């Protein structure tokens, strides 16, 4: 490899990263179970502090299951003004969740106890159950694009308690948001946020100091 060539594969991973967009309008075509399982298998291979593996995925497939989500978070009377109606057609919704208790228990074990992080969730300055779950989610988003599908990550916000109750999510486990995935519809409308563009690399990279 000469000095001018790049180790990055422009036709593979780099192309996937550059192609990733938040998709808000879906066809209703189902995602094959083996394909979905493959995407989730890749997502669970993301880094995990202490190899805790405290990330879980609550998966809703098909209209009967996804309807439960939307009926809980977006009741019918609010849908008339919802700006992204095509989002409700997504055949799969995935809630990536982090289990705080799993991290506290892991860091209470002999090889990690010196950190003091096994004393409780409040001992963690940065809650790594959220960090690791976010990395798993990013892996899911990229894998979805590589598989020829589209995805959207969006927040649950004020509906978290209601959706956790509806789906039976334990108290120590928090979903960081929801990933809709499926086959993108032909017509996609860019959100105002996406139209902001990205700052130049020099604005976000601080070499040696801020």
Q: What angle do CA 192, 195, 199 make, to 5 degrees?
A: 130
| Residue 8 confidence (pLDDT) | 63
Give backbone dihedrals phi and psi of 111, rounded to 5 degrees, phi first: -75, -10
Average pLDDT, integer, range 161-183: 97
Residue 188 token pair: 């996609």
| Residue 192 confidence (pLDDT) | 72
Neighbours of 167 (CB within 10 A): 16
Secondary-structure class of domain 29-186 per CATH: alpha beta
Residue 98 has pLDDT above 90, yes or no: yes
Kindly indicate the confidence band of residue 15, based on its pLDDT and cuts at 50, 70 and 90.
confident
Cβ-Cβ contacts under 8 Å for 75 (sequence gap 6 or more): none
Residue 144 has pLDDT above 90, yes or no: yes
d(CA 94, CA 58): 6
Q: What is the rounded average pLDDT for all residues in the chain? A: 93
The more confidently predicted of residues 49 and 17 is 49
Kindly indicate the confidence band of residue 9, based on its pLDDT and cuts at 50, 70 and 90.
low
| Residue 196 confidence (pLDDT) | 80
Beta-strand ranges (E) seen in 25-137 are 55-61, 92-99
d(CA 31, CA 192): 29
Query: In the chain, what are the domain boundaries?
Result: 29-186
Residue 1 has pLDDT above 60, yes or no: no
Average pLDDT, integer, range 117-134: 98
| Residue 19 confidence (pLDDT) | 84
Residue 5 has pLDDT above 70, yes or no: no
């Amino acid at each position: 490899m000469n000095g001018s060539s790049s180790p990055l594969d422009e036709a593979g991973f780099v192309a996937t990263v550059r192609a990733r967009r938040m998709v808000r309008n879906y066809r209703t075509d189902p995602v094959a179970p083996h394909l979905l399982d493959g995407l989730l298998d890749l997502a669970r291979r993301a880094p995990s502090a202490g190899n805790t593996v405290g990330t879980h995925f609550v998966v809703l497939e098909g209209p009967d299951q996804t309807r439960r989500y939307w009926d809980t978070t977006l009741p019918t009377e609010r849908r008339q003004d919802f700006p992204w109606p095509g989002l409700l057609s997504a055949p799969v919704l995935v809630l990536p969740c982090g289990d705080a208790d799993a991290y506290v228990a892991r860091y209470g074990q002999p090889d990690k106890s010196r950190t003091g992080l096994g004393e409780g969730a409040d001992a963690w300055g940065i809650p790594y159950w959220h960090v690791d779950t976010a990395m798993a989610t990013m892996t899911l988003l990229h894998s979805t694009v590589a598989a020829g599908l589209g995805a959207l990550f969006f927040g649950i916000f004020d509906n978290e308690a209601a959706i956790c109750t509806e789906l039976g999510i334990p108290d120590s486990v928090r979903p960081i948001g929801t990933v809709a995935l499926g086959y993108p519809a032909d017509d996609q409308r860019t959100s105002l946020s996406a139209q902001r563009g990205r700052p130049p690399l020099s604005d976000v990279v601080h070499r040696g100091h801020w």
